[in-house]
Chains A and B, each alone.
Chain A
């Protein structure tokens, strides 16, 4: 067997270069025989080298679960990784490569347990086909449904169901057909283009690479023949042209090219193309692929396109087919998978990163989460790690996208934490929200500048943050008096007062606090737009919400005032008797006691209150405004 394959490979050597390429995801838990299958594929396709082969023979005798010398325990080939897995290192995606005379393969090997959903999603995002392993003795299980659902969610169109361990059920045809029927019944609505079924024994090699003499009733392809036959490239070449722009190549005044990897369709010299964000039209003057000028380029190629006209076009934009354009919107609905141990909370601000664009974004609504085992919808206020939810997302400016269903490259995004830069979630866009089409900013002649000029002042937002009882409102009150006395137009937003009206529907959970701050910030923004100096006095314990508020304003407009009073002092003052209650456990989620306060690291003004009179502190702020 080994020699024959070797000879084949020698003969086919030159053909390798023109071979196609398939990305495969394997789903299944250890017990399903996934390791054995991968080991078997690597072994039978010659990827196991001499040193590894002797180690396998030795290890089979020592640890193997298979009996007798004839059958090697292929799971041991990936055993090193399993040991590491227990230490938490390979609870992740590992990539392995193998080649046959027909095709090259990369296998994304991901763990199958529910707590590793995010890892499976990572592996699935680039896969063309998923092998779903089923233990023939157990049939379709909860985890089969989960793996299949995630594969479908991430846009995998081809599934091969490998019904493994047929040797343990005496190669029973009826049982195999019953499992196929059960799989078809639940997967019908998941939108796969092809679903293949293979009765298999990875351990003995039945129907993995060659037909099995034990299952003459099966006339279909072996697993490898399936993998070699799937045509995954058909998917995008005939779609409308998309070129997300990565960078503008401008070595000198005579050359200005737009570089990117074609995300769908094809483009030829002379074609009309449209700049997605502006709607401007031009024609393709030339196409560079590497150093060669080409007439036509297709999906997947990395190109540099030169246009006939000098248009405004830069990174984050897209060149597209004129007849079939992508969406341009700042609000859309998406399926989101959450990666991070800190839950996603609606209203919090993240960086939304598409392939080439990057912009501030907020999840405005979490409509529901999806139970990945039963596919049922559940109401929720936050999206926890490994959960999948359907959300409305709002970006600070419009982005260009397609539905993920239509194009996996132009329909995806990841969400990034603004402080740590961790990748906290990933999204697949369903569709733009209608109101994004219909609500346009109303251009007005009387603007902020005009209103402020009439008042002879510069609009500002003084954002007082600090613990309850730190003295925020006292100081803010004095500042307002000082400003008013000088003829300035001011308004004060106080946490307690706002909670009696605008925010009376909100409680004190983390989610509600985020929303509380968001509303206050938006109101402050309207008031600043009216030309006012706004004093906002809110505990605002979380850094990310204060940052979100800051980003609503122009540079220099937002002034963060940290009213810094040690918690012992606040508790001693306790003007409203709240600390006493909180410490007695009568108030839940009390900042500083049972809920965190994240102190500002670089506030514009840092007031240490202990040992200072409120009036002195207020005058310090007044001076800051005069100097700025």
Chain B
């Protein structure tokens, strides 16, 4: 009896979650509503069954998420009876920080990175789960599963704790914390195959459907509400599109696709020739931007 690849990944992730629950005093799970969060939540429900996961979910709401994401989030928390915390950087709201006038970098820093730091400090969390995977991006490939942050939430890539076997160093001093990535060793394909195998609900935006979009800077942006400023020379088209990743709608590009079911997505993935985060405006905004953001405390 040999475990399959997905069974091994599942067991590793569950082991990591249990280590956190057993050794930290105030853990939290960052819930971004995307497919990775859906998988992470599903694993947490398994890890502690029949108990509920012994930590709350935290969503950093930038106020610019797709409407379908917010609906999905609230429905999921209600159906599962989970403790969902939602935090928005109110300073940013007061200053009307938005992706158009402030640029992707400044906007993300205010509404995501700073907002996250505010929330972690406010609640005093000493461990925070994130859905990051090593196949996503070069700097993630080097990050530990238990990734240490100092009291200012800073990641020091040159000074990471060696991580051997399944023996994790879970110790932190006051005000220090650990970001924990239980999906480190999963690939995008694994995530979809697991979603398929376990029948995990995901936001319908991942599945192809006719949606109103405009073309801007080589990206297909969905017109999710009337805050998207459509220029005179831009025209709103109805195209059959879906999203490979989900974030803030003015910064997340759609792809044209006919994949209307999860098996069709997997089929599409096996032939797709571009990388997953290509649709994210924020990543290409500046050179080596992911590593820089991570060092500042972004997930």
Q: Are B15 and A10 in contact (CB under 8 A)?
A: no
B1 CB-CB contact with A under 8 Å: yes
B116 CB-CB contact with A under 8 Å: no
Q: Are A51 and B275 in contact (CB under 8 A)?
A: yes
Within A467-513, which residues are at the interface with B (CB < 8 Å)? none
Q: Are B166 and A409 in contact (CB under 8 A)?
A: yes
**Number of B residues with CB within 8 Å of any CB on chain A:** 60
Q: What 1/0 flags go to B1-14 for Cβ under 8 Å of A? A: 11111111111001
Chain A residues contacting B185 (CB-CB under 8 Å) are: 95, 97, 106
Which of the residues A17, A90, A413 comes within 8 Å of B197, measured between beta carbons?
A17
Chain B residues contacting A296 (CB-CB under 8 Å) are: 1
Which of the residues B138, B163, B167 comes within 8 Å of A412, measured between beta carbons?
B167
Chain A residues contacting B189 (CB-CB under 8 Å) are: 16, 99
B193 CB-CB contact with A under 8 Å: yes
Residue of A nearest to B6 (CB): A17
A59 CB-CB contact with B under 8 Å: no
Q: What 1/0 flags go to B125-136 for Cβ under 8 Å of A? A: 000000000110
CA of A266 to CA of B1 in the docked complex: distance in angstroms? Answer: 10
B169 CB-CB contact with A under 8 Å: yes
The bracket for how many chain A residues form the interface is: 35 or more
Chain A residues contacting B274 (CB-CB under 8 Å) are: 49-51
Given known pairs A80-B138, A422-B161, the reply for A18 and B4 (CB within 8 Å) is yes
Closest Cβ of chain A to B43, distance in Å, is 9
Given known pairs A13-B267, A126-B164, A261-B15, the reply for A90 and B5 (CB within 8 Å) is no
CA of A155 to CA of B45 in the docked complex: distance in angstroms? Answer: 34
Closest Cβ of chain A to B194, distance in Å, is 9
Closest Cβ of chain A to B3, distance in Å, is 5
Within B71-108, which residues are at the interface with A (CB < 8 Å)? none
Chain B residues contacting A257 (CB-CB under 8 Å) are: 50
B67 CB-CB contact with A under 8 Å: no
Q: Are A302 and B270 in contact (CB under 8 A)?
A: no
Within B154-197, which residues are at the interface with A (CB < 8 Å)? 157-158, 160-169, 171-173, 176, 184-185, 187, 189, 193, 197
Q: Are B48 and A118 in contact (CB under 8 A)?
A: no
Q: Are B51 and A250 in contact (CB under 8 A)?
A: yes
B52 CB-CB contact with A under 8 Å: yes
B46 CB-CB contact with A under 8 Å: yes
Q: Are B141 and A96 in contact (CB under 8 A)?
A: yes
CA of A296 to CA of B271 in the docked complex: distance in angstroms? Answer: 38
Q: Are A416 and B11 in contact (CB under 8 A)?
A: no
Q: What 1/0 flags go to A178-201 for Cβ under 8 Å of B? A: 000000000000000000000000
Q: Are A246 and B46 in contact (CB under 8 A)?
A: no
Q: Are A354 and B173 in contact (CB under 8 A)?
A: no
CA of A290 to CA of B17 in the docked complex: distance in angstroms? Answer: 13
Within A409-460, which residues are at the interface with B (CB < 8 Å)? 409, 412-414, 416, 421-423, 426
Q: Are B164 and A9 in contact (CB under 8 A)?
A: no
Which of the residues B2, B47, B134, B193 comes within 8 Å of A302, measured between beta carbons?
B47
26 contacts between A and B (CB under 8 A): A17-B197, A18-B4, A20-B4, A49-B275, A51-B274, A51-B275, A81-B138, A92-B142, A95-B184, A99-B187, A119-B162, A122-B162, A122-B163, A125-B165, A237-B1, A246-B19, A249-B48, A259-B47, A259-B48, A355-B167, A412-B164, A414-B164, A421-B172, A422-B161, A426-B164, A426-B167
Q: A301-B7, A422-B161 are in contact. List 18 more A-B contacts (CB 8 A).
A: A17-B197, A19-B5, A49-B275, A92-B142, A92-B157, A233-B2, A260-B15, A261-B15, A290-B10, A290-B46, A291-B49, A291-B50, A298-B3, A412-B164, A414-B162, A416-B169, A421-B173, A426-B164
3 shortest A-B CB distances, which residue pairs?
A251-B51, A125-B164, A290-B46
Chain A interfacial positions (CB closer than 8 Å to B):
6, 9-10, 13, 16-21, 49-52, 80-81, 88-90, 92-97, 99, 104, 106, 118-119, 121-122, 125-126, 233, 237, 246-247, 249-251, 255, 257, 259-261, 266, 288, 290-291, 296, 298, 300-302, 304, 315, 339, 351, 353-356, 408-409, 412-414, 416, 421-423, 426
